[in-house]
Amino acid sequence: MKVNLKIMLFCIVFIVACQSKSAKVQAFIDGVYINHAQSEYAMADDTLTFTHTAGRHYLITRNTGYRAIRDGKLLRKKLKHEQVEGDYDPQTNRLNETTTGRVFRFDPDKGVLLLKQAVYRKLN
């Protein structure tokens, strides 16, 4: 009897802890994130804006400025604007973009968003 009670209490605590983390991540998602990347061939500035629309659904706006480097010189800046949608999965604490399948991972404790190997810093 005591073992069953301990198991039930453990399950309840585990479920509450998971929901708490999920709520913390979802509360963190809304906002603007930036990333700067540079190599010997190019430099890029990327801005992602997440806007909560309803339930677990988000609008994702991506603005990218890209400059190629040729023979050590920066070429003219090219701009790209993209708007897609995504859904937050509380089981995995990730936001899945519905068009291309990109997966966004959020770390509220560090104030960052991870997209593949890129790290985006949250501005607000």
Per-domain residue ranges of the chain: 2-122
* 66-114 pLDDT per residue, tens: 999 999 899 999 999 999 999 999 999 999 999 989 999 999 999 999 9
Split at pLDDT 50, 70, 90, the class of 6 is low
pLDDT given for residue 22 in this prediction:
87
CB 52 within 8 A of CB 61: no
Contact partners, residue 35, CB within 8 Å, separation at least 6: 45, 46, 48, 118, 119, 120, 121
CB 50 within 8 A of CB 70: no
Split at pLDDT 50, 70, 90, the class of 2 is low
Output the pTM of the full model.
Answer: 0.80
* 7-46 pLDDT per residue, tens: 654 444 444 444 477 889 999 999 999 999 999 999 999 9
User: How many CB atoms are located within 10 Å of the residue 104 CB?
Assistant: 21
CB 84 within 8 A of CB 98: yes
pLDDT given for residue 69 in this prediction:
95
Closest CA to 104 of 33, 10, 43, 19: 33
